[in-house]
Amino acid sequence: MRFARGCRLPSIVSLTPGGTAKAKLPGSDVARFLTRINERIKAASRQGFPLLRHTGKYPNINELKLTNSSISLVSMPQAARSRMGRRPHPQDFDAREHLLDVAVALFAERGIANTTVAQIAAASGVTSAMVHYWFQTREKLLDALFEERLVAAFGAIWDPVDPEHDEPLALTQGIVKRMFDVTETMPWLPSLWLREIVNEGGLLRERAFARIPVQKLAAFGQNIARGCASGQLNAQLEPLLLFNSVLALVMLPQATARIWQRLNPRTSFDRATLERHVVALLAQGMSATTAVETNAKAATGATSTARRAKGKPS
């Protein structure tokens, strides 16, 4: 049975429905443990979070007693409950998920280095001990955040990609759509991406490098290169840079939206506007037909300029 901050109660005797689990403690530690544990249990009960873990089937600890040099935890079995047709009970609340949600929002807003465990706890409505209980260390919190949030985002964008069979333009537009799908469900992602992955010294950069789908990224570049070679796409495109452009077009406006809205409050950064804008830029810029027309106009303009310079009518 384990307490917050990693304190352990050794020598558990038994734990049965309606029964008592006892742990022997050194006499000098009993009063100190009792005071601390009472405070923790009362605080956790008010917040709807479990403070204690044990290997039994009865996690509802509702009484704490001191008998000589033993601490007794009286447990009550949980009855099966239906979740339908009622508001969630505090015991249904997933404390760990909530802490991750709060932490990632604060990291996106303030930066990881500027966010303390105490601030995460305060914003979550729990104690710092509860944060340490679930994640032990700051690094483990970052590991959990990356693996359970960002890796899921990478997968949602790249898993459906089929660069061997998809048409280049449809392939690119599919990636754009899925990026907007992800940022719609994870609105903190663009800011976190800019702060902690793009910036030098970002605390998620190395984790991101280790999980970038390099093979699919390379296959995407090869797909674009084939499109350029076959005349489907603008031959002036640089295949290996196209995904960088897509990423910047989708993420950067969202990451910097507050800045631009301060300069021009009428600027819209809703998904429909941004997605339409990005797709239009890519469709026109990637199109081979548009490129030919643009080159032809440029050539005509250059010829006219040269004729005027010689004093000849165009």
Query: Angle of helix 95-110 relative to helix 128-135, nearest 10 degrees?
Result: 100
Most confident of 21-25, 51-55, 308-312: 308-312
60-67 vs 20-24, strand pairing mode = unpaired
Whether the predicted pLDDT of 18 surpasses 50: no
Q: How confident is the model at residue 297 (pLDDT cuts 50, 70, 90)?
A: low
Average the pLDDT over each of 157-161, 209-213, 243-247, 295-299 and give the range with the smallest value.
Answer: 295-299
Task: Kindly report the number of other CB atoms within 10 A of residue 25's CB atom.
Answer: 18
Query: Looking at the predicted structure, is the pLDDT value of residue 14 above 50?
Result: no
Task: Give the separation between CA 158 and CA 168, rounded to whole angstroms.
Answer: 15
CB 149 within 8 A of CB 114: no
* Cβ atoms 223, 217 nearer than 8 A: no
Q: Please give the Cα distance from 38 to 183 (Å, whole number).
A: 43
Least confident of 5-9, 125-129, 146-150, 175-179: 5-9
| Cα separation of the two ends of the chain | 90
At residue 255, the pLDDT reads: 96
Among the ranges 22-26, 109-113, 301-305, which has the highest mean pLDDT value? 109-113
Two tokens, residue 26: 């050194």
Separation between Cα atoms, residue 203 and residue 180, nearest integer Å: 24
pLDDT at 42 over 70: no
pLDDT of residue 294: 52
* pTM recorded for the entire structure: 0.65
Could you tell me which of 171, 177, 185, 263 has the C-alpha nearest to residue 226? 171
Q: Give the pLDDT band (50/70/90) at residue 301.
A: low
**195: Cβ contacts below 8 Å, ≥ 6 apart:** 107, 108, 111, 112, 202
For residue 7, what pLDDT is reported?
A: 39
pLDDT at 303: 55
Q: Which of residues 64 and 123 earns the better pLDDT score?
A: 123
Residue whose C-alpha is closest to residue 37's, from 99, 129, 136, 131: 129
Question: b/e for 265-281, b at 16 or more Cβ within 10 A?
Answer: eeeeeeeeebbeebbee
Q: What is the CA radius of gyration of the chain?
A: 29
Which conformational region is residue 286 in: left (phi greater than 0), alpha (psi within -120 to 50 degrees), or beta?
alpha
* Nearest C-alpha neighbor of 156 from the set 175, 133, 128, 131: 175
Q: At residue 141, does pLDDT exceed 80? A: yes
Please report which confidence band the pLDDT of residue 130 belongs to, taking 50, 70 and 90 as the band edges.
Answer: very high
